Amino acid sequence: MEWLNYHHLLYFWVVAKEGGLVAAGKVLRVSHPTLSAQIRALEDRLGEKLFNRVGRKLALTETGTVVFRYADEIFTLGREMVDAVEGRAIGPALRLNVGIVDSIPKLVVHRLLEPILALTTPVRLVCREDSYERLLASLASHALDVVIADTPVAPGSPVRAYNHFLGETDVGFFGTKAIVEHYNKGFPKSLTGAPFLLPLEALTLRRALDHWFDRNGIHPAVVGEFEDSALMKVFASKGSGLFPAPMVITDSVMAQYGLQLLGRVPEVKERFYAVTGERRIKHPAVVAMCDVARQAVFSAGS
């Protein structure tokens, strides 16, 4: 069996986790030259570069990302072993690395992932939010098990990935009680001139809404555009304007932000997908997520 120096792997793991040599040196109480030498030794052993220097920072290479994932599992398992020996263990957790496209409402993500934590087998969720492109790259390098997206991967994508449709939901417009009461009469024609908080123009939902506004001759007053749907909800809760959200999270939006539903727009849908690197889903937690999404989250009344 080929031998791997786990001290070298540990130093690499801490540098990657801490984001650089300075922070890692403080955690490990090791000098920068020693850390650099240990990482170079690991790179020589593997025959691959693990970091690239970007300005003053270190960025993981594609191989480095794969090695980091394995190292993370190795040292997590090591901690669990110590806990088991010392009587603190509750059993090993199944790890699920989830990528979340940054435009997806966090309340939807919560609805999809929350049931996983109730599985008989303990699951440790590791969630990463980023652009679709970067998440697909991480999926291709096996750093992620699944990506939750609001659009399918295009057929011509350079990344080999498979779309698993989770479901769809109508979109509704929400706002404070005062705004809803003001624009309620004559909905949806009453929306011309209404203050709106909308997703950025490049996002899928925004394009669908713009088409709907055009088809219905509605000219809203756009007072804000957002990439982060959670921030949009905060502005709405302060009375800045109406905003769109999936009907599937109506109760959460109303309870968490104190808002009301002005009206439902059945012509505008939000669709959600689980994107994996395999045609047939094998990870039990991803299987559970897909089952719950199709049977409960996105039901016929969504």
Q: Is position 129 within any domain?
A: yes
Q: For 103-157, what is each residue's pLDDT tens digit? A: 899 999 999 999 888 888 888 888 999 889 889 988 888 888 999 999 999 887 8
Q: Is residue 295 predicted with pLDDT exceeding 80? A: yes
Q: Is position 302 within any domain?
A: no
Count of structural domains, the chain: 3
Q: Is residue 258 domain-shared with residue 136, that is, in the same domain? A: no
The pair phi, psi for residue 105, each rounded to 5°, is -60, 135
Q: Is residue 200 domain-shared with residue 57, that is, in the same domain? A: no
Q: Is residue 135 domain-shared with residue 97, that is, in the same domain? A: yes
pLDDT the model gives residue 28 = 84
Report the distance separating Cα 125 and Cα 112, nearest Å.
12
Give the bridge partners for 163, in sequence order: 275
Angle (CA) 152 158 159, round 5°: 60
Q: Is position 254 within any domain?
A: yes
Q: Is residue 198 domain-shared with residue 74, that is, in the same domain? A: no
CATH of the domain at 72: 1.10.10.10
Mean pLDDT of 245-261: 94
Q: Is residue 36 domain-shared with residue 99, that is, in the same domain? A: no
Q: Is residue 196 domain-shared with residue 237, that is, in the same domain? A: yes
CATH of the domain at 138: 3.40.190.10
Q: Is position 35 within any domain?
A: yes
Q: What is the dihedral of CA 60, 64, 65, 71, to 10 degrees?
A: -120
Q: Is position 126 within any domain?
A: yes
Q: Is position 122 within any domain?
A: yes
Half-sphere exposure of 236 (CA within 13 A, CB side): 33
Report the distance separating Cα 65 and Cα 281, nearest Å.
22
Q: Which of 99, 125, 132 is nearest to 288 (CA)?
A: 125
Residue 214: band (very low, low, confident or very high) from pLDDT cuts 50, 70, 90: very high
Report the distance separating Cα 285 and Cα 146, nearest Å.
10
Q: For 42-98, what is each residue's pLDDT tens digit? A: 989 899 999 988 777 788 888 888 888 888 888 877 776 776 676 555 555 688 999
DSSP character string of the chain: -----HHHHHHHHHHHHHTSHHHHHHHHT--HHHHHHHHHHHHHHHTS--EEEETTEEEE-HHHHHHHHHHHHHHHHHHHHHHHHTT----PPEEEEEEEETTS-HHHHHHHHGGGGGSSS-EEEEEEEE-HHHHHHHHHTTS-SEEEESSPPPTT-SS--EEEEEEEEEEEEEE-HHHHHHH-TTTTGGGTT-EEEEE-TTSHHHHHHHHHHHHTT---EEEEEES-HHHHHHHHHTTS-BEEEEGGGHHHHHHHH--EEEEEEEEEEEEEEEEESSSS---HHHHHHHHHIIIIIT-TT-
Q: Is residue 235 domain-shared with residue 258, that is, in the same domain? A: yes
Q: Is residue 245 domain-shared with residue 214, that is, in the same domain? A: yes
Q: Is residue 276 domain-shared with residue 260, that is, in the same domain? A: no
**Cβ pair 302, 167 in contact under 8 A:** yes
Q: Is residue 1 predicted with pLDDT exceeding 50? A: no
Mean pLDDT of 221-240: 94
Q: Is residue 300 predicted with pLDDT exceeding 60? A: no
Which of 67, 82, 97 terminates a domain? The answer is: 82
Mean pLDDT of 257-266: 96
Q: Is position 1 within any domain?
A: no
Q: Which of 52, 16, 10 is nearest to 28 (CA)?
A: 10
Q: Is residue 288 domain-shared with residue 211, that is, in the same domain? A: no
Which of 66, 82, 98 terminates a domain? The answer is: 82
Above pLDDT 70, what percent of the chain?
Answer: 94
Report the distance separating Cα 91 and Cα 93, nearest Å.
6
pLDDT the model gives residue 302 = 60
Q: Is residue 273 predicted with pLDDT exceeding 50? A: yes
Q: Is position 141 within any domain?
A: yes
Q: Is residue 159 domain-shared with residue 279, that is, in the same domain? A: yes
Q: Is residue 278 domain-shared with residue 149, that is, in the same domain? A: yes
Half-sphere exposure of 31 (CA within 13 A, CB side): 3
The pair phi, psi for residue 268, each rounded to 5°, is -110, 120
Domain extent, residue 254, equals 169-269
